[in-house]
Structure 1
């Protein structure tokens, strides 16, 4: 009987505990103003159970746990409050204190452990969802340009390249971009395509950016900077969010065009163990038209246009790169009996180019991006001690990429899948990236081969010369004869806008052979695993971390980019690292951080990357932080540096991996009549090895008439040694107001700077000039005769510069509040570099960064009830842009962006009206891209 009573009591007691619930009610207020705070987050510490404050700042939280337990109340821009719950139906009033400054925000990236920005041992910039709401830029990614020391170069409407501390290109392989720990660079191109295939704005939790070298913790390619985009965890950010942005882009060349963007985020917590989320984004618009038709030669602008220059080569005109000396054509026609003997005397020895097509006729300029992301989060113990995450991202889009040529990226697809296991002190994750170039194509080769489809080069130039001779014999002046010659040769030319042109362009764009087509093929994959563990639970004398990573590339372009003609090319790299943080002195005011990493990649020797930093917190409340650091970075040559084999028209790009040199061979190249005496054949083929072992410096031949053997070395990893000092702190001014100061000064010294070199490979003869033949003017090297006969091919090889390259700079950011709550921010960045050109005359450093940049911000989130505004102004001086596409000086510019926003609390909505480049003065981010006009937009965002 007693046993039955005890059993009954046990069951009743157990059931009551099992179904026990505790209810907590309360109100959340701003500690300074006393106003209630809408949307504050309330959750049980360590668990996913939570709620949010309503329009009046009130909340009700019901949990299945019996007291005592702790709840956390948090909100962006405020310090988190913790309240102990000791009884059921407890009522609490919570006052949140606003963070004194942005320096109180917490970052993880600088040391792979949470710390205040104030205490970070290196420079770090941060953007969160509150800053995203206030940005005047059309998107959060555009808003990065307002951060101190950050450059954003606009390639097209949907492709923007982020960079810090110089040496910027659109193919920015010196800057790494991580999304939830995944490198979202294109595996084949080795750089991120902006946010084309990145993160939905509604899912952004924080963006952290480290300027400068970070290889000690993040390995290869964290060389000039690294950016971390972290998404919201569905356990902590539940609900439905929606945004719609619509407006117009305005450009003189393109006119006014509509664009719109749609974002949706769904997140739900199914139980204390399982949560999931899904995001979808879609953007559609019109690209900036590229219409720079200025004449170019050897990387410079020159006088003339198609009507005045028979060898015209417009910057945004393609197909006119095909050029030849018409006297040589006349001599060939005489040899074939087409022209009578002596007719070549009527033909001048001048180059003539084929008639090209404007870029706007070769691509549709339809900007489009669709992104989908999904994640499942599982917590086996019902709290955040251990979490298992499966994350998948898919993206498809259209954009424009500018490298050596301009590429129309159509239906580019990339997917990433990640499995991650993480706890409070460790994580292990692995992910795979797969891409498909879709219907992308090279516009330069599209124009060249559209021309060749309706009339091959030999026929076109033959007709040109024949008509020129006939016109000259008929009494025409040379200029008139050239006009007649072009009209005759262009007979039958396909006209843009006609169906015949459209059909031919479609055929060329779908043909992957660059001898007849222009399709860009790529199905490259990347596999990556990395892990990190903080030993704080096992070591109490300091904070020690250890970690490792492994990466495998599988290059697969079917021979259209890489030399993977007979199957994918695989190569791998791995690294291990450790870091120690130790605090000293009273109140732990001095913090030492020391890290070292070892990395090894196929084709290269291993590399050590150390980092040492000291940070000292001064002042009564540790509100002044002084820091100094020494660190190194390295960059492995990219997949293209090693394995590319691509005829870009103006030259052949060939990578320098040892197993790549003999894999690449050219198509048969025509040898001149005089040259056939040396080759014994009308054509030759060249291997990639010839470019490295038997070539002349192109600048020596073209600019100085000197035949100097090039001897480029095989490319090796690039290294940088970086020194930095800085200060962060609060400076008190009158009436208790404080100014936030963030200052840094750096100096970088580069070794083995990776660069390209232009060389000329003779079809015959030795570039060391060791073989000579007698001539009436004395002995002449055979290779010199080859170049004189036009029997050579231009190559661009990948190597390391011998020049001593250094860069240095400084930045300072000031922010405060004035006039009762108006935010004012001002920052200035100085950037400079130097190198000894004499040690490497062919080296182009491509620093591509203005020396001076000023950025100013003024706004107030609550000008009056529910109404806010923000204005951003950016100025930068002129600078030289160098690239394989073109070199020119980018003019100084001033950009003004602004927005006003209105909050509808009951609808949990924000309406924003804004615009970028409001002055309307168009500018170029780089030579060859479309002029950037103005954007005007209206957006509606619901965060539920």
Structure 2
């Protein structure tokens, strides 16, 4: 022992002597500290990050001399030489050119923005710090060409280049490489499973088709969120926000938002992080009481103001779909039944008109508490086995919350749970990852069917009471010498009859009877009696990529990769036709990409090809070719042109849905789905696709009194079963410096083939479209409306452009302005029953002005957005969304001694409320104050 101790002491002292410590600070050209700067020894992975005060301490086994590099997004990189132990190294970083910022998503390899083969938008740590919205995700709308449709406080939908819905299956969202989509519905639920702002490293958005590298559904655009690596960003940071949401309908409501992130480096090989955030508030109320009646396809629906008649069906009122007409009756027939039963005196029914009457229905606010809640947690264990950038990452990401989602109906998302678990092995030139996504709908329910099935209870008594009260009221009018057939008098009698029936046979919101019935319906997944959504779908994904550039001595960048995806649909028959067990299917793909630079690296050629196979469809290939050229002495003028293709597999709903949404039954087009039972009908998917009439011919038949011809669906050239959709896109663009302005311009033209469409068809319940029995069914109203997924035979094109200018005003003021033009090129007459659903303004203008150092430690930022009116088409209704101007602003103050940033701001400061889509709430203003520590 006496021998061993001196030996250990010798080695330990030698180890200590071999350590080199470097201390220093990082400031900008205004001598303000810069936190979060990466300090790295060149040629190694050894490094650290500056703290909130811009200070850093770097300890290494390297022996001087060596070089240390300081880099941060938005600043020019600086390098200094270390020649001795305990040397102090201070960096001054100048603000960098945004064209030199590094992005990865465009080519799956690091490159500057100026070199990107396609247009790309970037949002980073600095942008989050100065965002004028309390939610960085909604601040993405200030980027060029990006739309954010706001339908809820916690669920917002990002889109580019049109064809937008809240259920945006054309746009992909990746978080640290993981597809963020709900596996059962194939779209991302906003940022519910995204990242806390404390853990965001960068956000990159690629507008347009990206299938060549990222596979199916990267069709209209793709959003990448990358989190902070615990090796680079360690320590503890936190934030707290609170404020008010202000809306005419909902009033003033407080919200709270809290987050914390902790990361620690245990050694050169081990690091870990945990981040958590919690937000709670009151959601925006939706209160459109107007009735939207089906108009010609491609136009806005006709609007009847509240209450237009005794069978009024308000958009955000649920349960008023329960009417006498659904049972083939009218109010006079009910009165006759009461008269025959001795409840009404003889002759009383003669005072009752032959009109359809619907139950009163419940307001949306009666059927939800509008609780908006978001809980996000993210845990990673990071291991670097070889001491370099090769890394093994085990991660778990959990998102839980409550929100409002708008699809074919409005849905209360309650206690929704979404999890992702990943194991990844990656390095500078490769990655191999596998992950699973698990979805649980929790206590979510369909608000429309909640109202419908609550109003089915006691419906017979309610209609009887209404008819009796109407007869009595009409009799009193007649006895008093009045005319009960006068329209104004009839309206008064109807109103009195409704009050009587509601008072005696409708449970009132807040009453014990209402609560008991509500709980019963929302816990029942059978759509004929309940409204609960059941969805325990899973998705398993494996993918990998390798870059051969080092093996090729950097002669060119050559990548190969592939992916495999398996779906397991499990809704117990409440959404899909999986009532007899889960439905499983898979898809896979592979790609190759080469990048070559020529002419002194001024010319960059990028070519890629991808092949994908879905279990139900033939293989699809997606080529992409782009050229980039840098002109000017310092390569300050960068031109690009690209040809790229994308394809879109029909999503899980288009294949296997079987869902009654009241106005129609949604039915998927997978061959295995055609003979499965559909809810609330004796018909099958085969009837919908092969024994139906086009909606336009049925509307014309009814309008003509039955004199025009009915057109069978199969006779119109419609593709009977849905196929893959394809887009071919041509892009040109320019990035560069023109005088004092940084300019970014791009223009595109996209052509769509086999555009996936939802169409309403009318199916005879007993007859056939091949003979007169189908015509008799239509004439007698003995039909079922189906919403089928198919492809349009029409030529669908879109084109547009975006131009953005940014500069410095008076040296310190950041100013930016951009304009977006988007246009749909489609002939409605070529496919009368097809709704393209472009849902995008033709013109948009966005302006920003800010200064991070208006005076010492004080900054501000203002964002203004204008968009013109546009037609919103969806299965819930079609309507014109008016033009709007929205202004957001914030001021911020930094207290270095507290390592804190305080921010005060507001959104929609003008206070004029606006809608993103018909049926969704009007968005009011949001005012907030926040405190961020050590980030």
Name the counterpart of 1:310: 310
* The 10-residue stretch of structure 1 (24-33 or 227-236) with the greater mean CA deviation from structure 2: 24-33
Cα distance change, pair 357–282 in 1 and its aligned pair in 2 (3 A): same
1:49-100: CA deviation from partner (whole Å, max 9, x where unpaired):
444446775544332333344432223322233444344334434343431x
Q: Which runs of 5+ in 2 are unaligned?
A: 296-300, 703-708
Offset at residue 805 of structure 1 (A): 0.4
Q: Which runs of 5+ in 1 are unaligned?
A: 669-684, 733-737, 771-780
Name the counterpart of 2:752: 750
Offset at residue 28 of structure 1 (A): 4.3
Question: Is the 2:215–2:589 Cα contact (8 Å) retained in structure 1?
Answer: yes
Offset at residue 591 of structure 1 (A): 0.5
Cα distance change, pair 194–36 in 1 and its aligned pair in 2 (3 A): closer
Name the counterpart of 1:698: 695
1:617-637: CA deviation from partner (whole Å, max 9, x where unpaired):
000011110000000011111
Offset at residue 347 of structure 1 (A): 5.4
| Residues 1:362 and 2:367 aligned together | yes
Question: Is the 2:603–2:628 Cα contact (8 Å) retained in structure 1?
Answer: yes
| Residues 1:708 and 2:711 aligned together | yes
Map 1:213-252 onto structure 2 (within 5 A): 213-252=209-248
| Residues 1:94 and 2:91 aligned together | yes
Offset at residue 487 of structure 1 (A): 4.4
Cα distance change, pair 18–662 in 1 and its aligned pair in 2 (3 A): same
State the distance in 2 between where 1:301 and 1:755 align: 22
Name the counterpart of 2:705: none
| Residues 1:847 and 2:852 aligned together | no
State the distance in 1 between where 2:686 and 2:624 align: 38
Question: Is the 1:197–1:369 Cα contact (8 Å) retained in structure 2?
Answer: no
Cα distance change, pair 809–140 in 1 and its aligned pair in 2 (3 A): same
Name the counterpart of 1:798: 789
| Residues 1:432 and 2:455 aligned together | no
Offset at residue 666 of structure 1 (A): 3.9
1:106-159: CA deviation from partner (whole Å, max 9, x where unpaired):
000000000010111100000000111111111210110000000000111111
Counterpart pick for 1:543 among 540, 550, 557 = 557
3-state SS of the aligned residue for 2:505? coil
* The 10-residue stretch of structure 1 (544-553 or 21-30) with the greater mean CA deviation from structure 2: 21-30
Question: Is the 1:590–1:617 Cα contact (8 Å) retained in structure 2?
Answer: yes
Q: What is the root-mean-square deviation of aligned Cα atoms in Å?
A: 2.4
Offset at residue 288 of structure 1 (A): 0.6
State the distance in 2 between where 1:343 and 1:730 align: 84
Question: Is the 2:658–2:679 Cα contact (8 Å) retained in structure 1?
Answer: no
State the distance in 1 between where 2:523 and 2:827 align: 45
Question: Is the 1:268–1:276 Cα contact (8 Å) retained in structure 2?
Answer: yes
Counterpart pick for 2:282 among 286, 293, 316 = 286
Name the counterpart of 1:523: 536
Name the counterpart of 1:682: none
Question: Is the 1:294–1:301 Cα contact (8 Å) retained in structure 2?
Answer: no
| Residues 1:396 and 2:396 aligned together | no
State the distance in 1 between where 2:36 and 2:666 align: 55
Name the counterpart of 1:773: none
Map 1:177-188 onto structure 2 (within 5 A): 177-188=173-184
TM-score by length of 1: 0.92
Cα distance change, pair 631–89 in 1 and its aligned pair in 2 (3 A): same
1:850-903: CA deviation from partner (whole Å, max 9, x where unpaired):
000000000100111111101001001111111111111111111111001011
3-state SS of the aligned residue for 2:787? strand
3-state SS of the aligned residue for 2:766? coil
Name the counterpart of 1:452: 456
Name the counterpart of 1:169: 165
Cα distance change, pair 895–581 in 1 and its aligned pair in 2 (3 A): same
State the distance in 1 between where 2:193 and 2:670 align: 30
Offset at residue 602 of structure 1 (A): 1.4
Name the counterpart of 1:724: 731
* The 10-residue stretch of structure 1 (599-608 or 77-86) with the greater mean CA deviation from structure 2: 77-86
Question: Is the 2:331–2:357 Cα contact (8 Å) retained in structure 1?
Answer: no
Name the counterpart of 1:671: none
3-state SS of the aligned residue for 1:351? coil
3-state SS of the aligned residue for 2:17? coil
Offset at residue 665 of structure 1 (A): 3.0
State the distance in 2 between where 1:229 and 1:39 align: 18
State the distance in 1 between where 2:808 and 2:196 align: 31
State the distance in 2 between where 1:15 and 1:317 align: 76
Question: Is the 2:380–2:393 Cα contact (8 Å) retained in structure 1?
Answer: yes
Name the counterpart of 1:827: 818
State the distance in 2 between where 1:852 and 1:516 align: 46
Name the counterpart of 1:765: 767
State the distance in 2 between where 1:760 and 1:530 align: 43
Question: Is the 1:81–1:94 Cα contact (8 Å) retained in structure 2?
Answer: yes
Name the counterpart of 1:571: 585
Counterpart pick for 1:911 among 902, 911, 917 = 902
Offset at residue 504 of structure 1 (A): 1.1
TM-score by length of 2: 0.92
State the distance in 2 between where 1:557 and 1:542 align: 48
State the distance in 1 between where 2:464 and 2:700 align: 30
Name the counterpart of 2:629: 616
Offset at residue 381 of structure 1 (A): 1.3
1:737-769: CA deviation from partner (whole Å, max 9, x where unpaired):
x2100000000000011111111111122113x
Counterpart pick for 2:153 among 157, 169, 172 = 157
State the distance in 2 between where 1:12 and 1:902 align: 51
Name the counterpart of 1:552: 566
Cα distance change, pair 654–553 in 1 and its aligned pair in 2 (3 A): same
| Residues 1:895 and 2:899 aligned together | no
Cα distance change, pair 252–542 in 1 and its aligned pair in 2 (3 A): same
Name the counterpart of 2:856: 865
Map 1:198-213 onto structure 2 (within 5 A): 198-213=194-209
Offset at residue 27 of structure 1 (A): 4.1
Cα distance change, pair 609–890 in 1 and its aligned pair in 2 (3 A): same
3-state SS of the aligned residue for 1:726? strand
Offset at residue 40 of structure 1 (A): 3.6
State the distance in 1 between where 2:425 and 2:861 align: 40
Question: Is the 2:53–2:896 Cα contact (8 Å) retained in structure 1?
Answer: no
Counterpart pick for 1:255 among 233, 251, 258 = 251
* The 10-residue stretch of structure 1 (336-345 or 138-147) with the greater mean CA deviation from structure 2: 336-345
Offset at residue 9 of structure 1 (A): 12
Cα distance change, pair 787–347 in 1 and its aligned pair in 2 (3 A): farther
Question: Is the 2:36–2:233 Cα contact (8 Å) retained in structure 1?
Answer: no
State the distance in 2 between where 1:665 and 1:922 align: 40
Question: Is the 2:334–2:467 Cα contact (8 Å) retained in structure 1?
Answer: no
Cα distance change, pair 107–921 in 1 and its aligned pair in 2 (3 A): same
Cα distance change, pair 54–351 in 1 and its aligned pair in 2 (3 A): closer
Count of aligned positions = 901
Name the counterpart of 1:807: 798
3-state SS of the aligned residue for 2:286? coil
Question: Is the 2:247–2:924 Cα contact (8 Å) retained in structure 1?
Answer: yes
Question: Is the 1:816–1:823 Cα contact (8 Å) retained in structure 2?
Answer: yes
Name the counterpart of 2:706: none
Name the counterpart of 2:917: 926
| Residues 1:131 and 2:127 aligned together | yes
Cα distance change, pair 563–53 in 1 and its aligned pair in 2 (3 A): closer
Offset at residue 939 of structure 1 (A): 0.3
3-state SS of the aligned residue for 1:19? helix
3-state SS of the aligned residue for 2:673? coil
3-state SS of the aligned residue for 1:267? strand
Offset at residue 441 of structure 1 (A): 0.4
Name the counterpart of 1:774: none
Name the counterpart of 2:808: 817
1:292-344: CA deviation from partner (whole Å, max 9, x where unpaired):
112322263433433x5112111111111223347557558869954899998
